[in-house]
A and B are shown apart, each in its own frame.
Chain A
Amino acid sequence: EAQVTQNPRYLITVTGKKLTVTCSQNMNHEYMSWYRQDPGLGLRQIYYSMNVEVTDKGDVPEGYKVSRKEKRNFPLILESPSPNQTSLYFCASSLSLPLTGYSYEQYFGPGTRLTVT
């Protein structure tokens, strides 16, 4: 089954304790992205990756790191989490970045609910 998986689904942690949220897709997609979803703010892009070893900042990258060492995996790293990073996080992937005037559908993971106390 074609899917994007995330782990863990739920995480409660304390300020300053490094954590990693994993994301994996089995569709051989080139493009992967991380979003956070907060009430009243919708989805905001954190980082995205156009291919292996190619990553770029989205709208809200501060406090986050990513890496893309393999095509299928795109982990999100919080080196020193803070309470304002409490949120619902989604990983997504699509076949490729948009062509001129055409964008591909993004496939989303089930989400990771993170609470930082």
Chain B
Amino acid sequence: GDSVTQMEGPVTLSEEAFLTINCTYTATGYPSLFWYVQYPGEGLQLLLKATKADDKGSNKGFEATYRKETTSFHLEKGSVQVSDSAVYFCAPGGADGLTFGKGTHLIIQP
């Protein structure tokens, strides 16, 4: 079945630092790809998505590009804020739903 590899962290950065969270996956065919974010005490919410190769998803200053050749969907943000502290999940879409990575815990310090 599908699988996802992403670093779990915690990843600790200072405010305004550049962020990269790597995500690689194995899946059948060319799935849609998603990043979800979970703020403390809340459910998951969609951050961004891409549905085909070379598509770039973006939202709230975050970006990720669908790289078919490397089966990757790395999340980036140029300048993080304290409010970005959360857990981030990468998820390819499969025939029976989404497969989630273990999540990357991001901590942004002022």
Contact = CB atoms under 8 A, between A and B. Distances in A.
A42 B89 contact: yes
Contact of A45 (B93, B97, B103): B97
A109 B98 contact: no
B67 interface: no
Interface in A20-45: 31, 33, 35, 40-45
B32 A43 contact: no
A38 to B, nearest CB: 10
A24 to B, nearest CB: 14
A102 B100 contact: no
Contacts of A74: none
Contacts of B62: none
A41 B29 CA distance: 25
Secondary structure at chain B's binding surface: helix, strand, loop or mixed?
loop
Contact of B89 (A43, A44, A98, A111): A43
A14 to B, nearest CB: 25
Interface string B37-73: 0000011111001011000000000000000000000
Given A103-B31, A103-B98, A42 B103 contact: yes
Interface string A79-107: 00000000000101010011011111111
Given A43-B89, A108-B44, A101 B52 contact: yes
A106 B89 contact: no
Interface in A64-81: none
B109 to A, nearest CB: 22
Contact of A98 (B45, B46, B93, B103): B93
B43 A103 contact: no
B30 A33 contact: no
A42 B100 contact: yes
Interface of B: 8, 29-32, 34, 36, 42-46, 49, 51-52, 89, 92-98, 100-103
**Interchain residue pairs A-B with the least CB separation, the first 10:** A103-B93, A42-B102, A108-B43, A103-B32, A43-B100, A108-B44, A110-B43, A105-B46, A111-B43, A42-B103
